[in-house]
């Protein structure tokens, strides 16, 4: 009897050991593919020696936990807009509190309504949305009769929310079950594309994703260096090509290496095309077409500098004609009073704002949340 028990115990232990060993062998399989040798476009680090040839670049040790030596631990992305709401300072004081103050006046005469309109136009809300909003506010004010400060705040909050839109899908499509999701980032030079790709890589890493960057801005080596620096901070390798090389081929290789390496997401940074340079715009179309040989591009994010107003909107329109933009990233909302551009750009392009840039810091990129945004604008 005792012998039988002993045999059973030994057998059970053997099974447990077997399972543990199998898990250990199978578990990292997907990760190991990450070490596959890069092909034509080189993984960043190949072109130099020294610190860039460190293991996390050459054989991307991308699943190392963020606390691994030298890697930063980015802030979680949830609730960032609330945390960063003071960055909206100038939009808060003019657009939000400015409107609240005007609407709280005892008598709302024509001159006051004109002032309200002026505030909205100055904040870049756009002509048509401004007129709609003023019309709705006038009707509601009439219906309200006497107004308490709470009434005014509630009314303004509801109307601004309606204008910004609460019923659109603002989620970023950054994963797939069977292949890396591909995110193409486009926009005029200086709007903040590379910075946004860097910040977005951090957001994804914070959410536990593995990220590969593609430096499809091949016009200046400095652009690829800038991207690579962002990636290195969080362990996201960069695929780059020769300076002046074909951006489409770098993008193509990045996506292929992303698939070979089992990455969750490939983020492609591009050069700042000028909308009046037909050839350059064609090239952007080509980048997208070439990447699509691997499969659909999941997100095309158009980066727009919130401080550029109508000029920026005109540029955005041209980009939207060349590639199907799926989301807007509105950068530099910190330090501008023109927060109303959120409304204008969505109207103009029929595409939702998905992310907002609220500073130059590495974690100053927030998922756009209409309620948090409007609340921040009218917060006392």
Enumerate binding residues for ligand GDP (CB under 6 A): 187, 189-195, 272, 331-332, 334-335, 357-360, 364
- Cβ proximity of 257 and 93 under 8 Å: no
Q: Residue 267's CB: how many other CB atoms inside 10 A?
A: 31
C-beta of 95 vs 224, nearer to Mg ion: 224
Residue 228 touches Mg ion, criterion: CB under 5 A: no
* 187's tokens: 């926009």
In sequence order, what are the beta bridge partners of 240? 42
Question: Which listed residue (92, 94, 130, 194) binds Mg ion by CB under 5 A?
Answer: 194
Q: What is the CA radius of gyration of the chain?
A: 25
Report the candidate in 349, 351, 329, 356 with the shortest Cα–Cα distance to residue 91: 356
Q: Give least dist CB 127 to Mg ion, A.
A: 32
Q: Give least dist CB 37 to ligand GDP, A.
A: 29
Judged by beta carbon distances under 5 to 8 A according to partner kind, the member of ligand GDP, Mg ion, none in contact with residue 358 is ligand GDP
Rounded Cα distance between 207 and 181, Å, is: 15
Nearest residue to Mg ion, using CB?
Answer: 194
Judged by beta carbon distances under 5 to 8 A according to partner kind, the member of Mg ion, ligand GDP, none in contact with residue 334 is ligand GDP
Q: Please, what is the Cα angle at 334 between 329 and 336, to 5 degrees?
A: 100
C-beta of 192 vs 339, nearer to ligand GDP: 192
C-beta of 94 vs 194, nearer to Mg ion: 194
* DSSP designation for 60: -
Rounded to the nearest angstrom, the gap between the alpha carbon of residue 123 and the centroid of all alpha carbons in its chain is 23
b or e along 181-190 (b: 16 or more beta carbons within 10 Å of the residue's beta carbon)? bbbbbbbbee
* DSSP designation for 337: S
C-beta of 156 vs 328, nearer to ligand GDP: 328
C-beta of 59 vs 365, nearer to ligand GDP: 365
Listed ranges 65-73, 179-187, 193-201, 311-319: which one lies at the site for Mg ion (CB under 5 A):
193-201
Judged by beta carbon distances under 5 to 8 A according to partner kind, the member of Mg ion, ligand GDP, none in contact with residue 114 is none
Judged by beta carbon distances under 5 to 8 A according to partner kind, the member of ligand GDP, Mg ion, none in contact with residue 86 is none
Nearest residue to ligand GDP, using CB?
Answer: 357
């Amino acid at each position: 009897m005792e012998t039988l028990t002993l045999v059973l115990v030994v057998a059970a232990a053997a099974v447990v050991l077997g399972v543990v060993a199998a898990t250990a062998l199978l578990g990292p399989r997907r990760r190991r593919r990450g070490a596959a040798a890069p092909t034509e476009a080189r993984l960043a680090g190949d072109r130099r020696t020294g610190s860039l040839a460190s293991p996390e670049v050459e054989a991307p040790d991308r699943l190392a936990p963020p606390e691994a030596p030298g890697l930063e631990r980015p802030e979680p992305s949830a609730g960032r807009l609330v945390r960063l709401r003071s960055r909206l300072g100038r939009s808060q004081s003019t657009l939000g509190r400015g409107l609240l103050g005007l609407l709280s006046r005892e008598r709302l005469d024509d001159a006051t309504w004109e002032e309200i309109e002026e505030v909205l136009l100055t904040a870049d809300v756009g002509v048509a949305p401004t007129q709609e909003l003023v019309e709705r506010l006038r009707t509601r004010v009439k219906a309200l009769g006497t107004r308490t400060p709470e009434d005014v705040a509630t009314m303004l909050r509801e109307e601004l929310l309606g204008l910004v839109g609460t019923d659109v899908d603002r989620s970023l499509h950054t994963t797939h079950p069977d292949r890396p999701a591909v995110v193409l980032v486009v926009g005029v030079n200086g709007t903040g594309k590379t910075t946004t790709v860097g910040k977005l890589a951090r957001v994804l890493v914070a959410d536990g994703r593995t990220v590969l960057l593609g430096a499809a801005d091949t016009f200046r080596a400095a652009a690829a260096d800038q991207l690579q620096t962002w990636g290195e901070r969080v362990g996201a390798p960069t695929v780059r090509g020769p300076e002046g090389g074909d951006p489409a081929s770098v993008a193509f290789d990045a996506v292929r290496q992303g698939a070979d390496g089992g990455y969750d997401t490939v983020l492609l940074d591009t050069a700042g095309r000028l909308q009046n340079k037909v050839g350059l715009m064609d090239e952007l179309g080509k980048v997208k077409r070439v990447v699509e040989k691997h499969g659909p591009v999941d997100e095309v994010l158009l980066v727009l500098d919130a401080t550029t107003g109508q000029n920026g909107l005109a540029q955005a329109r041209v980009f939207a004609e060349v590639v199907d933009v799926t989301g807007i990233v509105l950068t530099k909302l910190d330090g501008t009073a023109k927060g109303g551009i959120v409304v204008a750009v969505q109207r103009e392009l029929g595409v939702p704002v998905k992310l907002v840039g609220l500073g130059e810091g590495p974690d100053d990129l927030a998922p756009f949340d209409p309620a948090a945004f409007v609340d921040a604008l009218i917060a006392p």
